[in-house]
Amino acid sequence: MDLVLDIRKKLGNFDVQVRFSTDCKRIGILGPSGSGKSMTLKMIAGIESPDDGKICFGERVLFDRKRRINMKPQKRKVGYLFQNYALFPNMTVEQNIGCGLKKQERKEVADRMIEKFHIGELRNRMPGMLSGGQQQRVALARIMAQSPDLILLDEPFSALDVYRKDQLQRQMEDFLSDYAGSVVLVSHDRDEIYRFCDELCVINEGHVDAFGETERIFRLPETETAARLTGCKNVIPVERMDAHRVLAAEWGVTFHFRTEVPQETRHIGIRAHDFLPVWGGQKENCIPVGIYRSAKLPFETKYYISPAEANGQEPVCWFIQRNRMEEILEKGMPDYLEVDEEKVMFLR
Amino acid sequence: MSEVEAILKNLDWSPLIISLKTGAVATAIAFFLGILIAGKLLHSGRTARSVLDGVLTLPLVLPPTVIGFFLLLLFSKRRPLGSFLYEEFGIRVVQSWLGCIIAAVVISFPLMYRNARSAFEQVDVNLIYAARTLGMSEISIFFRVIVPCAKPGILSGTILTFARAMGEYGATSMLAGNIPGRTATISQKVAMVMQDQDYLTAGIWVAVIVMISFGIIFLLNYVTMRKEHQIRKW
């Protein structure tokens, strides 16, 4: 079903202005903290009202300012998974699952959900006695009991440690795999988004920065924010000199390209893994290595290198995997970092 | 000691009964009023809420005699409302047990209302949002989610309300008077016997009210300690 979103709401010192429409069933919203992505989700659910615009899902108009439609959250058939799961602490697991159902169907639907989510042994427990993973299962069961057309996931894994996060993500994948409705996941974590979402909306300071297939945006982000949020560590302002050259003043380097540099290029992005170490003579598109700092991680080493001729403060961020460290240990730090022009992303 | 025994033997226990009865009935009334009004005010606008909150809290900070003045202004048989109630329904507020209850309700109501309100405000707003997206009606959310989650705060409010209602003196003596066996509460009894320098009888009543009050405070601490326990678990 199509999700059509065109909403505006004043929030603090900026306007949240989100507009996209899609028939994709797994949609991600990626943005830094405070960019308005949670607010967007709350407006879809009807917890908050937009100042202007409209929200449609399938045939149904959930909100339309012009037609004075503002459907109550109770009627929207939209499930919302909160980061802390928001289970009612005064009700048992079974009561939590059945709380929004009519009396006649309560028992039957709750039984079905309890079986589906394998929480039979938790049936009579209070939420305070459950682990995080169990709470998430109960919260999902409670949402599914309403058979919603659309499920909203609001940073569902952000407060978890790495090990538990992966566990809960697998659990979530299992439960969503046979869900026929649409899912919108909000997160500031690119891995999460990449894992769950087929289409992606990048939001920054309340505005849609990029929208499209997740895979494409990760491979070829077109904007500075999209590049940063999809994990590109080196995003620097450049000056387009002509169709084949750009000047990166921060690094004191001029890059040459055989392909044409797009007219609107204002930044370039280079992923931290994409540099090639060069010892000896300088080639084209090489950054001279100056002073550097390093940080060792379990499976890779990070270098923060100030280019020798740089006149800016922005260091070059270079990640090198452990199995390739031997070369560095043997030959010492490279003299240059070479940039393959095919790996450079042109950004607005 | 024999003096105390002699007094105890002939003591009229009616002030204890009247105090407890007044406390219980006034608390029951303040309980429902406090919860409903606190719940209503959660949804009202900021200006309305500030003004109403101020008015509803005033009885807590004003001298009880000032409340007594306003209550007499309303319910005295020489005043429109008081005479209307008496002529039409035969209801007498002044110099009656009803007066005891009305005075106690007005004086103790802010304790119930304020405790309920702050308990409601501390309920995780996501719970309410979640309940809405799950299709629960607003009334159902109030009684099945908000009130149960605010239970510890409501409970401590109820206990304080009872303690305050039971010990009310100033407004009660003005509105209900001190009629033995009908409106004479323990606090009024103490004031009366002290006028005759009867330290012994006053002391007995003081002991009774200190014991009850201590029992109430103990209960309150017990309840709030259980609340902390629950929070840690949650």
Q: Is A335 exposed, middle or buried (0-12, 13-18, 19+ CB in 10 A)?
A: middle
- Those residues whose C-beta lies under 8 Å from the C-beta of residue A332, and which sit 6 or more positions away, are none
Q: Do A82 and B230 touch (CB under 8 A)?
A: no
Per DSSP, the three-state class of A341 is helix
B233 vs A151: which has the higher pLDDT: A151
Q: Taking residues A320-339, report their average pLDDT.
A: 86
Per DSSP, the three-state class of A38 is helix
pLDDT score at B216: 86
At B194, the pLDDT band (50, 70, 90 cuts) reads very high
Q: Flag whether pLDDT at B232 surpasses 70.
A: no
Q: Taking residues A143-147, report their average pLDDT.
A: 93
DSSP string, A124-186: T--GGGS-HHHHHHHHHHHHHTT--SEEEEESTTTTS-HHHHHHHHHHHHHHHHT--SEEEEE
pLDDT score at A330: 87
DSSP state of B90: -
Q: Taking residues A63-69, report their average pLDDT.
A: 93
Chain A contact present for B228, CB below 8 A: no
pLDDT score at B231: 53
Q: Flag whether pLDDT at A312 surpasses 80.
A: no
Strand A300-307 relative to strand A286-296: parallel, antiparallel, unpaired? antiparallel
In the predicted model, what is the mean pLDDT of chain A? 90
CB A318 within 8 A of CB A305: yes
Q: Do B133 and A89 touch (CB under 8 A)?
A: no
Interface of B with A in 129-188 (CB under 8 A): 129-137, 144-145, 148-149, 151
Tell me which range, A177-181, B39-43, B114-118, B180-184, is most confidently predicted by mean pLDDT: B114-118
Place of tokens 């992606």: A200
Q: Both tokens of residue A57?
A: 């899902």
- Those residues whose C-beta lies under 8 Å from the C-beta of residue B72, and which sit 6 or more positions away, are B79, B94, B174, B175
pLDDT score at B228: 54
pLDDT score at B25: 96
Chain A contact present for B127, CB below 8 A: yes
| Structural element, H or E, at residue A28 | strand A26-30
pLDDT score at A311: 64
For residue A109, the chain B residues in CB contact (below 8 A) are none
A16 vs A13: which has the higher pLDDT: A16
Q: Taking residues B5-12, report their average pLDDT.
A: 82
Cα A324 to Cα A336: distance, rounded to the nearest angstrom: 16
Q: Taking residues B66-85, report their average pLDDT.
A: 90
**Among the partner residues B137, B144, B148, nearest to A74 by beta-carbon distance:** B137
Number of other CB atoms surrounding residue A4 within 10 Å = 16
Q: Both tokens of residue A254?
A: 């001029």
Residue of A nearest to B137 (CA): A74
Interface test with chain B among A38, A88, A96, by most B beta carbons within 10 Å: A88
Q: Do A74 and B149 touch (CB under 8 A)?
A: no
Cα angle B222-B226-B229, degrees, rounded to a multiple of 5 = 145
Q: Flag whether pLDDT at A343 surpasses 80.
A: yes
B13 vs B2: which has the higher pLDDT: B13
Q: Flag whether pLDDT at A324 surpasses 90.
A: no
Q: Flag whether pLDDT at B217 surpasses 50.
A: yes
Q: Taking residues A4-20, report their average pLDDT.
A: 90
At B234, the pLDDT band (50, 70, 90 cuts) reads very low
Q: Flag whether pLDDT at B35 surpasses 60.
A: yes
pLDDT score at A60: 92
Q: Taking residues B188-202, report their average pLDDT.
A: 91
**Amino acid symbol at B202:** A
Q: Do A128 and B137 touch (CB under 8 A)?
A: no
Cα A113 to Cα A97: distance, rounded to the nearest angstrom: 8
pLDDT score at B177: 87
Q: Taking residues A59-83, report their average pLDDT.
A: 93
Q: Do A74 and B148 touch (CB under 8 A)?
A: no
pLDDT tens for each residue of B119-158: 999 999 999 999 999 999 999 999 999 999 998 889 889 9
Residues above pLDDT 70, as percent of chain A: 99
**Amino acid symbol at A194:** Y
pLDDT score at A310: 62
Chain A contact present for B213, CB below 8 A: no
- pTM, two decimals, is 0.81
Q: Do A100 and B148 touch (CB under 8 A)?
A: no
Q: Taking residues A23-38, report their average pLDDT.
A: 90
Residues above pLDDT 90, as percent of chain A: 54
Q: What is the ipTM of this complex?
A: 0.84
Place of tokens 């044409």: A260
pLDDT score at A76: 93
pLDDT tens for each residue of A164-216: 888 889 988 888 888 999 999 999 888 899 999 999 999 988 899 999 999 99
pLDDT score at B1: 63
pLDDT score at A267: 93
